[in-house]
Amino acid sequence: MRFTHVELHRFALPLVRPFRTSYGVETARHGFLVRVLGPDGEGWGECVAEVEPLYSPEYTAGAYEVIKRFLLPRLDPADVHAAGIAERLAPVRGHRMAKAALEAAVLDAECRMDGISLATRLGTIPRLVPAGVAVGIQPSVAELLDVVGGYVAQGYRRVKLKIEPGNDVVPVRAVRERFGDALMLQVDANQAYSLADVAALEALDAFGLQHIEQPLPEDDLFGHARLAELIATPICLDESICSVRQAAEALALGACSVVNVKPARVGGVLEAVRIHDLCLARGVDLWCGGMLETGIGRAANLALAALPGFTLPGDLSASDRYFHRDLTEPFVLEDGCLRVPSGAGIGVTPLASALADFVTSSETLPLTAF
């Protein structure tokens, strides 16, 4: 496709549940949208990097700078194809979330030009996909039970609890006892443990968890493989897997038996599809993670999660789990599921009223030949 320019729109979208950061309590999600435009059409993508580099080395302002200074100049404005973007941008090391945002916008534009949904382009059909919810560490067990109870009442198909050393067995036991064995329950440690904590992790075996996600540091595949021998709860990897090669390596080592894929973490939806294909071929359970996406990022995640290898509910929640108002028409739960948009491209676009209310600055950048 031919593109003449790219717009970057920073936004601040008020959150339903504020969260703590290094500099205080954050009441809004700060991110930015990427819009590619040209004579052949336009498309939207979302950068999901967080304001601080606490989940991954990337952060919002850095990703913005990388797109502007290093990624856009590498595109040939007369000939941009989503399938070739990763290779085109490969000389820029890392920065997968920035690359994923750009690829997403181009993919959306290509699908809109072809008049097909992203789900169709990825080889599946728009359908309902089971929705899961992730619950952060709460100030008390009573508050945790209240929060989980609210989501269970809404119909979410599975619940994920964030855990950390000293804040694991007690809350997990409380949730299991209150909501029973039928609740699909899993935990996410975000790298907070070491092999010295094996006793606490082994204690979680009593609660029938679907799996434990990323207990050890992201670069410790051998540690995860060792831990898998010591505990009964299956291990899922998130931060450790940034490419299909790393997914294959982790599975070969026995470092995990379940995979979480986030398109942004692996450099884009197309690399996520390759990880899907790997897991499907090997019979490995897979699910789609989330990063507090607005409707723009969520729509793309849902199209991906409609592929047949996504065997477990993902961190794909309704818009009102995160935001009072979304940037798009809100995604709503339907019997514990979310509907994959069937319109062309990602099937949603930002609402003019939402852009007017929540965009804090916009920049238009011309594309010129590298």
Q: Which residues are catalytic?
A: 162, 262
Q: What is the bridge-based pairing of β-strands 235-237 and 212-213?
A: parallel
Rounded to the nearest angstrom, the gap between the alpha carbon of residue 229 and the centroid of all alpha carbons in its chain is 28
Beta bridge partners of 133: 159
Q: Which residue is nearest to Mg ion (CB)?
A: 238
Coil, helix or strand for 148?
Answer: helix
Q: How far is the CB of 275 from Mg ion (least distance, A)?
A: 15
Contact range with Mg ion by CB under 5 A, out of 92-100, 181-189, 201-209, 226-234: 181-189
* Angstrom distances, CA of residue 132 to CA of 27, 87, 158, 161, 361: 23, 33, 5, 11, 33
Contact range with Mg ion by CB under 5 A, out of 107-115, 233-241, 298-306, 339-347: 233-241
Nearer to Mg ion, 258 or 344 (CB): 258
Residue 99's closest CA among 72, 61, 76, 78?
72
Say if CB 346 and CB 118 are below 8 A apart. yes
Say if CB 186 and CB 213 are below 8 A apart. yes
Nearer to Mg ion, 124 or 210 (CB): 210
Nearer to Mg ion, 161 or 251 (CB): 161
Say if CB 351 and CB 329 are below 8 A apart. yes
Q: Determine which residue in the list 50, 110, 168, 238 makes contact with Mg ion, applying CB under 5 A.
A: 238
Say if CB 280 and CB 308 are below 8 A apart. yes
Q: How far is the CB of 287 from Mg ion (least distance, A)?
A: 11
Site for Mg ion in 191-230 (CB under 5 A): 213
- Long-range CB contacts (< 8 A, 24+ apart) of 273-282? 273/122, 273/123, 273/304, 273/307, 274/244, 275/241, 275/243, 275/244, 275/247, 276/304, 276/307, 276/309, 276/310, 277/309, 278/244, 278/247, 278/248, 278/251, 279/247, 279/309, 280/307, 280/308, 280/309, 282/251
Written as one letter, the residue type at 323 is: F
Site for Mg ion in 23-62 (CB under 5 A): none
Nearer to Mg ion, 191 or 294 (CB): 191
Q: How far is the CB of 237 from Mg ion (least distance, A)?
A: 9
- 188 forms part of the interface with Mg ion (CB under 5 A): yes
Nearer to Mg ion, 36 or 135 (CB): 135
Contact range with Mg ion by CB under 5 A, out of 122-130, 145-153, 235-243, 249-257: 235-243
- The site for Mg ion, by CB under 5 A, has a size of 3
Nearer to Mg ion, 11 or 322 (CB): 322
The site string for Mg ion over 311-330 (x = CB under 5 A, - otherwise) reads --------------------
Q: How far is the CB of 134 from Mg ion (least distance, A)?
A: 8
Q: How far is the CB of 109 from Mg ion (least distance, A)?
A: 30
Rounded to the nearest angstrom, the gap between the alpha carbon of residue 223 and the centroid of all alpha carbons in its chain is 24
Nearer to Mg ion, 117 or 210 (CB): 210
Say if CB 329 and CB 21 are below 8 A apart. no
Q: What angle do CA 340, 269, 88 make, to 5 degrees?
A: 150
Contact range with Mg ion by CB under 5 A, out of 116-124, 236-244, 250-258, 268-276: 236-244
Q: How far is the CB of 160 from Mg ion (least distance, A)?
A: 8
Q: How far is the CB of 89 from Mg ion (least distance, A)?
A: 25
Residue 215 neighbours by CB distance under 10 Å: 30
Contact range with Mg ion by CB under 5 A, out of 39-47, 238-246, 251-259, 266-274: 238-246
Residues that bind Mg ion (CB under 5 A): 188, 213, 238
